[in-house]
Structure formats: structure tokens, C-alpha cells
Structure 1
Amino acid sequence: VAQDSIREMAQDSRFTDVIIEVEGHSFRCHRIILAASSQYFRAMFCASYRERDQSSVEIKGVTIDVMKVLIRYAYTSYLEINTENAQTVLEAASLLQFTRVMEACANYFASQLSIENAPGIMELAQRHSLTELQQLATLECVTHFSNLRSSSDYLCMSSQLFEVILSRDDLNVANEEDVFEAVMFWCQHDTGKRKSELPNLLRHVKLPLINQNYFVRHVETNELIRCNEEVHDMMMEARRYHTIGGVTDRKVIPRHNTTLHQVFVTVGGCNNRDSFIDEVCVLDFQHKTRASLCQLPNTKYMVQAEGGEKAKWAEFACTAWRNNLVISGGKETKKETWMYIMSLRRWVQMASLNTGRWRHRMVVCMGDIYVVGGYDGLLRVDNLEKYDERENLWIERRNMREAVSSAAVCESEDRIYVVGGGPSVRISTEKVQVYDPNTDDWRLSTPMPDAAKCLSSIALRGKIYVVGGTLRYILCFDTREEIWSKIGEDLSCARASCGVTLCNDKIFIVGGRDESGKALVSVSYLDPETHKLRLECNMPTPISHHGCVTLQKLDKLRSKTV
């Protein structure tokens, strides 16, 4: 009944107390009705504005037809939105703060959303602070990115919103070349005005992941890129990755939907029966699969030992180099070095080490492979060797300050860090030895809080994460401040001789042995931002003393669900 009475008053203009002037047309209205629907009119009529006591108020920036729509809504709650008036009604509702009308317009645009109009709707939603609508339009662009270039609104997008799309890791593209082409097509639409935006946009293109041949033929030769000094560092970073690897930031983590993806690989190891494992296994958490990549080289040649057979490779070291797997040393293979070439799916033998060893570590620094420390059967080894790819031989570099085996070794900001380790069978050290390849010299850094060996480590953005030995917690070493700290919650048990690798910006900890010497099956990951440790899955069998690396571009493997 009350609603009917309000409609009658609107039609008969009874008891009106204000006139709204729009483009020379007068609307006789009731202040209380307008104030109930519009924050703009509520503030005008209730606060100390001069319009409060005026009998007539002029509204600019709104057409007569749109004002009719808004006034009708205020009196009747009826709203007619269609293709012709949706945008103008939204703009007027935003200006006059008709909140419910704005929500109705947002719902209308959401119902009409497609890849053809999504860029324009993104702009509209941002302009009027319609967060949910902007998120929906952004998701449409991200999901159908391959069709975005066919959109009439795509070339008119602002660079800021284009950056929002490009920055998404869930961008639905087959490869990073498609992203690069979309950026260049947008820039070339208005080169004069847009060439200054190119550096900001290219920061969201994962240039290191672009195919090397495509990069040389289409990226390096592009005139806009060649003439823009601000992109030179990005180009150098991509060239470095193509040549020697070594880039560890998000630029080398593939987007979720590309044909590239990061997986981590467990190499060999030992189970609870002290039998050595000869399999190289791939864990792909993006596709929830586990796959056998290959067998370790020559492990089909088993040797008889007391208590039964054991595999050839034991307590070796491994690393990833240019997306290939390299292994060296071992208790029975002291000087051997092999590389599994991913593109060929086969092992190739490399030059032998100068010093045979096991319980050592391998690391890649500035594109070169190094072998660090270990045990030769009589003494701990202080020897450092660097692989010369051109001559296919190992070159001895300056010895460490202290000989250790079973240390944690990793690279951070072009330095090699050797953390802890065992100077002898019963002694552990807390020393941190740092090697500079540029000067071929070692120095000591801040020692770790507790002496430990049988450690593993990984570096990320200037910090080194250490786990293993008898430690029941994870240590973090800030290489810039040279400060140690304990992070996250305590571990449920020690994880001596576990595997650690960085995959998809998470630190994975695989297997290891607890205080009783029992091998573990758990695969956990640490979020480096929140320091939360979570269980990802369990391995099929307990594992320790294994290698653990991250690789890319693994497909067509014999898979089974993790």
C-alpha cells in the first residue's frame, strides 16, 4: 500500500519539495525519497550544503532519459537496463551514488561478459570501483587470453590493466611467446605513445622461458626493443638463462597453463633395508603425477656384497645444469661423472673427477658446475673442482678452509656457501665457508647456531634455508646481513640426509632419516613467505641419501597418480 501511495505521489507531483533540473527539464521530487536511494542526495539535503534549502537543484553530467530511469527507480524500485543505456545509467548512478543501481548495472554487465567486451568492462569496473565485476572481467581475459587479440577493446586497454592481466600466473597460454606477441601488438598499435610503456609490460613477460631460437629471431631483432635502453637488463637476464641458467626468481617459473612446468626429481637414494635405489623419479604436483624418468647409468651391472646385492651408485652428488641432470662420485664410482640430457633422453659420460669422493656436493654457480668437499675413503676432502665444458675436464680451484663431508652446499648471489658438515666421522662443524668464483678465494661467515652434518640446503632471494642432520627445525641464513634465524614451527623429527629443492616458488623437503635411523616417506613443502610447513604427499617407499633437483619441460613420461 505504501509503495502504491509513493507511485501516486510521483505521478501527481503531490507534496513535492524540490525540483531537479536536468538539461532544462524539471523533475518535481520529494527530498526524502531521493535521499533514501542516493548517498549523493542524502548528503546534499541533510548536510550543510547550500542546496539544502534551495527549492531547485541543477544536476549536470546526466541526460534527461537517464535521470528518468533513476527517479523512477527511487520511487518504484523498478529499473530497466539494456544494451543501449547500461553504461550511461552506471555512470550516472556512480556520479549520484545510487548504490543499488550500480550493483544492478554490474550484474547486467557480468551477464553479458565475453572475451570481446571483457577489456572494456575491466576499464569500466575499475573507473567505478566495481571490484567483483573487475575480477570477473579480468578472469575472462586471463582464461581466454589466446582470443584476446580478436577483441575490439583489447587495443584500447590502459597499460595498467594490461599489466594486471599479464602478471597472472594462471594466464591461459600455450607458451610465453604468445604473451610477448600480445604485448608487442598492443604497443605497435600506437607506437609513439606506447613505446614508453614497453619496459613495464615486458617485466611481466617471462623472457627466459621463451624458446631460444624464437628469442634470437623475433625478440632481439625487434626494433622497439633494440632502441629501448630500459629493457636491456631484462634481455641480458634472458640471454644468461639461455646460455648458463642460474636465474632463480619467478621469471623462470612457468605459468600454470603453459606446456612448460616445473617438476622436481629424486635421484637414487637408499631405503630402510639399506638397499640403494637406481631410479630417477619425477614428481609433478601440477598434474598430480609421479613418473619414472630413467635408471641411473650402469646400475644394471650389480655387484655382489655381503648381505646381498646393492646398486652401483651410493652417496653420490647431483645438480641440475641447463635443464639436464648431472651426477658425480659415489662410494663405488668415486671419479665418475654423468649427464642425463633431457632432449635426448639418455645418459652421456663426462670427464672423470681429479679426486675421487663421496658424501660430497655439486652446485652450479655463474653457469659453471662445481664439486665440493666429500670423503675419499681415508680423509675428508677440502678439494674444490670446476668443470671446463670446452675441454671436458675438471679444473682444481682453491681448497676450502676446512675439509668437510655431508655439508649443505648451495649458490646465492654468485657465491658458493658450504654450511656445516663433518670434519671427521664423529665431529660436526658449525662453520660457514663462502667461495667467490671471481677471486678464487674462501672466507668464513657467521657460523650456524648448532654444529651439524648430513645437511641439505636451498637458496632463494638472498636467503639460504638449511634442514637435516639432527636439527628438528629449519634454519634461515640471510646472506646480505649474515644473520641466522630459526623459522616456522619445529619439525616432528630430524631429517638427516634428506633432499631439498625449490619448485614453483616452494621449498620441498623429501625423505631423510629420523633420530632412530629410519628412512622417511614424507614430502613436505615450506612456503618462504609465511614460513608454514605443510605435508604434500608421501613417497611410495622410504628414501634417504638421494639427490633432489628441479627441472622443466618434462612430458610424455610414464605417469601414475601421486
Structure 2
Amino acid sequence: MAATVVVDKKLAVDFPDVTETKFKYIDKSFVKKHEDVYNTKKDLKIFVGSAAKASFLGHKAVLQDAHEFFGNSFCKEGEEGSEIYFKEITAYGFTPIFEYFYHGYIYVDPELFTELIEAASFFKIEWILDVCRHFMLHFYGVIKYSYTIELAERFGFEGFKEEMCGTFGLFLAKLAKGDAPFKDYPEDLLSDFLQGNYYTEAPEFLILQFLIKWMNYDKKERERKMLSLLSNIRYHIMKPENLNNISEDILSMSDIRKEVEDAKLYLSNVPQQCLKKGIKYASRGAKEVAIVSAFHDTSDRSESNILAYKDPNNDEPTLSVEELGPSGLKADYTTMNQACIGNFLFAAGGYDKAGTSLSCVYMFDARTKKWTEVAGMIQARASFAMCNSKDRIYVIGGVCKEADDEKFLSTVEMYVPEENKWKAITSLESSCFNQAAVYCSDALYVTGGIFDVEPIASALCLQDGSSKWTMLPKMSVCRQGHSMTEFGGKLYVLGGYTAKPNSQGLVKDCDVNEIFNLKTKQWTTITRTPKRYGHLYRHTAIMQNKIYFLCNIDSDVYLNSFDMESNEFITGALIGRGVHKVGVLQVAYPPTCLITPLP
């Protein structure tokens, strides 16, 4: 009995039943062009094999149309008509291909697969080679992993090992929960998967349980291999209760016990987690993306939490969208500011529903997709500048509003994650809000903002350890609500608002962009923002020499970018409405995430 797989250009099926003996693939695009001659006398004899002992009878019209190797230039006249010889392949390899030429389907027999792929490679039939790759991924590779990798290298299947481990990861959760055929999983497949960075929906504790079941199937033989496999389990991304449930048999390995104890300590101090780096702290399959965080435009923004991901390696103007549960934020997210340390996003301040400034701070874990409240700022504030160094967060200036009382701020604070504490540092000389800030080269830089009621062009610097802000050359235009990003020793200032001429207190979109050279201390204007982009929001993300930013065009928000090498703006994906912030995080998400604008 054969399992039937209907195949279009992309070959995708559920995880197979590996006990099947044959698999039938159907090419839906196949057209029988000469079906009228199928029952007529055959006029071409085909000899295959090194000794040319096996022969097939076919129709020249059918086969010549199927492949150029059956053309007149390759045939010769024999006693009974045209003949052709293929000594490089076997009859077992040619038989399924011969059937495909006539009927548009192919049977794959695992026992004869090597001969099939040799014949498919000889004829260079793309569809059959795709079938072979699919069969190796879904049916053959699990049982004969090393040999499959060898075949992939031999026949030029680039990236096959990564695809094989990725496919295994996609089905691992299903396998671990069921009665998987543990006898069939070779150590090298498990080892390659665990050492690599492949997405899986299986929680890490479930992967550990899978390995234990695998070992117990043949404990005498496999127990000696367990230490190397268990060393690649990411204990630091397990839940605390999972760590407490690890058996003493596993903990008897001293290296594993040490890692588990370290993971418990790591999980017990949430704020300090942002300071840890390394693959053992990351979700499997995590990759660097621009992350757009948003909430549905409803009366209760806290009840709808949406993330959209932009992969910089995908040039298509599309996003992967993931809808999460309630965020738990007390503040209106659109009024908060944000920055990153490590792979954690921090959102701070803003207003509550009554319009009162808040001091609350939340930490977003890209692994769990959840927000956790950490120590609040000393001063409640909104409309302030916020930035980060590799291990600190800074907030500068802003507005503090309580009931009918509103005051502008000059205070500056620094967050210390290992202490989960905010500390006051040198204040600005004058109060200001809606400015931009960045930390680089051991200094804090602040530009623009609103002083009194007007945007300003000032640029300031506070060196680490200094008790005084230094004035820098002013920007070419006054601006507020803009972005500032450091790259390659330069500060890139984009967008924001600038003053309307002869209209005190009124502003317009600023399309002038400029860079500040940290070495020469000079400002230089760069490409203007295209008018069609509308308003550029203040939050940005840098990936692969591009600054990603959000812009608002007639209430629709787009994720566009600026290429710092070519000095050009690039139009990107439509996201939707009610979106205000973008950042960069290492995120793991399923390849089947919905690709669509946000609602």
C-alpha cells in the first residue's frame, strides 16, 4: 500500500507514517500532451544499466517531449527501430521516472531510493529532485539521518542539514507527547538539532523528557551518550517548577546539576536576566527581527497585545503577526517610551486613563512574550527621552502631570538592572520634553525637544562620570519628537516635528534629516524624508545597515527603512493603525505566523 502525496510547486505534508512501504507523489501541473499515442505501437527501445541488459519500450513522441535526452541526436537506429542507451543509471532508478514521463506521478520506494535519486540527478528533472528532497526530509532522514546528509551533499542539496533539523523541530512537540518510535532516532540527528538554533514549539522541559524516553528505549547503549546531549538542553529557559522536577538520575551528572542550579538562580532574579548573553538563554529558533508592538484600537488597549516581526533577510514588504493575550500594562502604551537591554524591551512612564503621569516600568521577555513590572522611576514622567547602554537605561526630562498641575522636568535617571533600582544622575540645566537621546562612546547625547512652547535645535552631551552637560553644535533645524540612532560613529537624526513659520506653538512634520559626526563634531544634512511618508515616529530599530522606522500616512502606519550606506529611503510594509513603536529583539516564532497587516 502506498501513501499518496499531492504535490504542487512547494512540497509540504504532515509528518509521515514511517511504516509505509511506498509513497506516491502526484504532479498537479503535469499535462499528457500525447495521450492519443499511449495505446499505439511503441517505436523507441531504451536500454539502461552498465551492461544494458534492462530495456523499456516507449513512444518517441511522448519521451522526446518529456526530456531532451530522447531527442534524435541521442538515438540511433537498431534492427527494430530507434534505440537509446543510459548506462549511468539502473533499471530500478529509471522505472519510476519512466512512469512519470507518461502519467505525471512517481512512486518512491525507500529500499530503492538511492537509485531513484541517481537517475533523477542524471536527467536533472527539477520536479523529481524536489520530490527526492521532500522524501529525504519527511520520510527518509529520520531513520537514515547520516546517510541522508551524505546524499544531500553528494547531489548538491544546499542547506539540507539545516532544513532537516528545522523539520524535526517543527514536529518535535507532537513526537514528544506521543508514542514516538524512539528506536529510529539517531544520536547525530538529536545532537545536531540540540546544538543548532532551530524553531520548535516543544517547551524545553518536554525536549528533556523526549531525550529521557529515547535513552530508556536502549539504556545500556544510549546512556553513555546522554551527557553530551543533556549538555545542550537550555535549562535557563525552563520554568522554575520544571527545574525542580528534574530527576536525580539526571542531576547525578555533576555538570548538569551545576547548570540546573545556575538556571534556578537566573530565574529567581528577573530584572538581572537582561544582562545575560548566550544561546542558552535564548528560545530555540530565535532570530533578530524588527519587532512592532501594538494594541487594538479599543476602549481598553491593555486587553489586546499584538506583535509583528520584520525579518531583515526577507526583502518582501510583509510582516509576521502574532496576537497575544492581555499585556497587563497599567499605562497607555502609546504614551510610554521604550528601550532595550540585551534581549529585553523596557517600557516606561506615560499616562494612565485619567491623564496622570506614571513612574511605572515594565520589562518584556521575548521568550515568553510577557510583560513583568520592575522598579518604577523616581519621578513620574511622560514625553521624555529614553535610551540604553549595554547594561543601563536612561530617562531624560519630560512632563509630570497630576490633576491640573503640570511641570516640565530637567531630571535624569539611570536604571541599574542588577539592583533593580533607579538612580538620579546629573540633571539638565533647563527643563525640556519630547527630546531624543542615545548612549554611545561612554556618553549620553540629547538633542532637540520642546523648551517653553517651541522646538529647539540644541545638542548636549554628558560623559560618564561627569557632573556637567556639555553643549555641542546645534542641529540645522529645531525639532521635537524625533528619532536619534547611533551607527558607525555618527548620530542619525530623522523626522519629528518642527515649528511652523510665524505660528507660535504650532508644529509641522519635519522632513529634514541629518547626521552628527562624533569625531569632527559637525552636522551634515542627508536625504529628506519623502513627502508621501507623512509623519515619522520617534522609535527606530537598526538591522543590517538600515534604520527601521514607523510612519503615519492618512492614519495608516507603515514600517519603512533608511539605508545608511546608499543614503536612500525604502518603502516597506503596511502594518495597520494604532501602532507606535518599533525595536530589535531576538524572537522565535512559528514559520506559519500570519502574514498580514494588523487590524
Per the normalisation by structure 1, the TM-score is 0.54
Q: 1:486–1:154: structure 2 CA closer, same or farther, 3 Å change rule?
A: farther
Q: 1:524 aligns with which of 551, 558, 578?
A: 558
> In the TM superposition, what is the alpha-carbon distance from 1:178 to its structure 2 partner?
5.7
Describe the SS at the equivalent of 2:349. Answer: strand
Q: 1:290–1:177: structure 2 CA closer, same or farther, 3 Å change rule?
A: closer
Residue 93 of structure 1 aligns with which residue? 119
Aligned residues: CA RMSD: 7.1
Work out whether residues 96 and 107 of structure 2, in 8 Å CA contact, stay in contact via their aligned partners in 1: no
Work out whether residues 94 and 128 of structure 1, in 8 Å CA contact, stay in contact via their aligned partners in 2: no
Q: Deviation digits for residues 224-281 of structure 1, max 9, x if unmatched?
A: 89999xxxxxxxx9999972526899999968999xx97736799xx9xxxxx99656
Residue 243 of structure 1 aligns with which residue? 272
Unaligned segments of structure 2, at least 5 residues: 1-35, 76-82, 216-220, 260-265, 308-320, 499-508, 564-568, 589-597
Output aligned runs, 1:45-444, within 5 Å: 59=87, 65-66=91-92, 69=95, 81-83=107-109, 85-94=111-120, 97-100=122-125, 103-104=127-128, 106-107=130-131, 110=134, 114=138, 117=141, 123=149, 124=151, 127-129=154-156, 140-147=167-174, 150=180, 154-155=185-186, 162=193, 167=197, 171-175=199-203, 211=239, 243-245=272-274, 264=293, 280=302, 282-285=304-307, 286-288=321-323, 293=328, 295-296=330-331, 325-327=347-349, 337-339=359-361, 350=376, 352-353=378-379, 359-374=383-398, 383-387=411-415, 395-399=423-427, 404-411=432-439, 416-429=444-457, 431=459, 433-435=460-462, 437=464
AA at the equivalent of 2:201: V
Output aligned runs, 1:491-510, within 5 Å: 491-494=532-535, 500=539, 509=550
> In the TM superposition, what is the alpha-carbon distance from 1:77 to its structure 2 partner?
8.6
Work out whether residues 465 and 475 of structure 1, in 8 Å CA contact, stay in contact via their aligned partners in 2: yes
Work out whether residues 495 and 529 of structure 2, in 8 Å CA contact, stay in contact via their aligned partners in 1: no
Residue 558 of structure 1 aligns with which residue? none
> In the TM superposition, what is the alpha-carbon distance from 1:138 to its structure 2 partner?
7.3
Residue 575 of structure 2 aligns with which residue? 536
Distance between the aligned counterparts of 1:28 and 1:389, measured in 2? Answer: 76
Describe the SS at the equivalent of 1:532. Answer: strand
Per the normalisation by structure 2, the TM-score is 0.51
Distance between the aligned counterparts of 1:423 and 1:477, measured in 2? Answer: 22
Q: Deviation digits for residues 310-358 of structure 1, max 9, x if unmatched?
A: xxx9988676886675427999978x733468999998985744xx876
Work out whether residues 428 and 469 of structure 2, in 8 Å CA contact, stay in contact via their aligned partners in 1: yes
Distance between the aligned counterparts of 2:293 and 2:52, measured in 1? Answer: 71
Q: 1:183–1:525: structure 2 CA closer, same or farther, 3 Å change rule?
A: farther
Work out whether residues 448 and 479 of structure 2, in 8 Å CA contact, stay in contact via their aligned partners in 1: yes
Distance between the aligned counterparts of 2:359 and 2:100, measured in 1? Answer: 80
Q: 1:346–1:223: structure 2 CA closer, same or farther, 3 Å change rule?
A: closer
AA at the equivalent of 1:88: T
> In the TM superposition, what is the alpha-carbon distance from 1:284 to its structure 2 partner?
0.6
Identity across matched positions, percent: 13
Distance between the aligned counterparts of 1:98 and 1:110, measured in 2? Answer: 18
AA at the equivalent of 2:45: A
Distance between the aligned counterparts of 2:326 and 2:533, measured in 1? Answer: 28
Work out whether residues 443 and 461 of structure 2, in 8 Å CA contact, stay in contact via their aligned partners in 1: yes
Unaligned segments of structure 1, at least 5 residues: 12-18, 47-54, 229-236, 272-276, 298-312, 515-519, 554-560
Work out whether residues 172 and 202 of structure 2, in 8 Å CA contact, stay in contact via their aligned partners in 1: no
Describe the SS at the equivalent of 1:453. Answer: coil
Describe the SS at the equivalent of 2:478. Answer: coil
Work out whether residues 316 and 328 of structure 1, in 8 Å CA contact, stay in contact via their aligned partners in 2: yes
Residue 455 of structure 1 aligns with which residue? 482
AA at the equivalent of 1:338: C
- Matched pairs, number: 474
